Structure 1
Amino acid sequence: MTGWAWLCFLSTLFTLLTFWVEPSRFRYPERPIVFLALCYNLLSAAYIIRGAIGAEKISCVNQIDGPSYIPIRDALKSIPCTIWWLVRYYLGLASNTWWAVLCGCWLLSAKNEWSSEALHNIASYLHAAAWIFPIFLTGGSLLSRNVVADELTGLCQISDESALWLEVLPHAMLLLLGCVFGSIAGSALVRVRRAVRCAGRSATKLERLMTRLGIFALLYALPALGGLVCVLHEASVKPRWRKLALLAALDCRTAQNCAPGPIYQAAGLEITLLRLFLSLVIGVTSGMWVWSSKTCRAWSKLLTAPNKPIRMQKSFQSFKQNGTVA
């Protein structure tokens, strides 16, 4: 988990630094990609901090009487774990909201022919929607007190009973909204491409843009959808898994030479690891937007030491030889 978090952090950090090097390149409608990367950068930083300070200091799982495991049903009693959960839940919703905003901006640009300046004029409303809307959902989830401990990581998560309404449904609605906006924008770009080719002009740049948009959308939507499926699967099988594991442990107390442990493996480790991976891989792939020759030129221009102009060098040599300026 910490390794994936570092990959996500470095990829999104490179995107943010590229924006800092050349901010004029990230104009609307593609500006929300920067804030999408910012969300995953902060989210990966939370995972890195958890790995750095250790699971015991931030965990919401108690270890009492040796190795006895006591799950916490109300994980909000642990302040460090509550803070970590608030950061993860809020940034997850904010990133999905920025995804919907990004697709909405492309829709206004491709279908309604909004200019970059027109989208920039409503940027304050976009920021308000993307940063304030998740606050209400996070506050509602916090007040419901349906936050429990995750047995694997020791961190807080939404309980299995409320995962459908508080975890899957909000993220699925934002993901679906962005996909609908993106599909309409894509069909509008296809019509523009057809009109350009009918007019006898080259559509190479437009086709390259459409390819980048399609790849970026797939790299975001597929992992996000896969993560929601993993959450649903875990929420459906974990209660039965716990019940059968408890029964196996009780039966083991009456038998001799018995090693207690779960006998039902439907909620396996692979699904949980896949969910963690998919929650961070989006940040890694979101940096693909800056993987281009323009980025190489921008960074080389920044890192290369400026050379003296040739004309000034010749003038300086002429002045030393003849006392006159060439």
Structure 2
Amino acid sequence: MGAAHPNEIRIEPGVAEAVSRLTVMPQRRYGIWVGTALALLVAFLIIRAFASNPAFAWPTVVSYLLHPSVMRGLGNTLMLTAVIMILAIVVGTVIAIMRVSPSPVLRAFAGLYVWFFRGVPALIQLIFWFNLSLLVREVSLTIPFVGTLFSVRTNDFMTPFFSAVVALSLCEAGYMAEIIRAGIKSVPSGQAEAASALGMPYRMILKRITLPQAMRFVLPPTGNEAINLLKMTSLVTFIAVDDLFYSAQSIYARTFETIPLLIVVAFWYLAVVSIMSVGQHFLERHFGRSDTRRDAVTMRFLRNIISLRGISR
């Protein structure tokens, strides 16, 4: 017999037979069993309380689910959410680009914007814009040697709905700016540096290299912000915007059916949030950070550089 290899594992005689006779026992997870039992018990007690308590008035809840006032308020809530989110993404993108700009003035301005609109509570901003006419009674445009082109009273255009759009858009843009800036910073800087070395303008670097790749980092928190914004629109009730919550308030102020109407509002918020969560899930899968996705992004970057060099020639 030759010498044993130094890395060879030697098994003493009889050890393999002894190991084969061992009984494999499954790991006992008592903590998981106890936690599961407690969760089922709590769920049962909650369901029984909701089902057996007559104060919930489930027939009344069902009768108000599709009430015209509730449907109108739901439509206004969805419209507010969509308009505010679109404006917040546009303004937030501009502020985020300013935050990563080489100009110290632009960086300082963007930093002050984020500091102010994230620091002041949304409700205070909402009430401030609603009462803007106390500071500015009219808005006019006057050109020297030409005269006043137009003049309009502030109360004529700062309606409750428009005040809500302006206030919440500016507030949400502060959060979106930080999300987009973080996404831009997550893109490897070497790609932008290589493109800059080849003479690609800063605007084109953002458009063709940085922002497309930042999407996969930006999208998940943006979906969460949209869901938070949907719920935050309930603040517009304080300035009498006819949203979902305000519509329910108008009904139970007359009928005193407070609990059933609040359940109706909660149901519709949960329904819309669930739909938005499903959409967010599929968008995240589409923009997911898989290996295939990264390879596709890299190839697109290389094609951009090659096409740029072809144009420069």
Q: Report the TM-score, using the length of structure 2 for normalisation.
A: 0.28
Q: Highest CA radius of gyration, 1 or 2?
A: 2
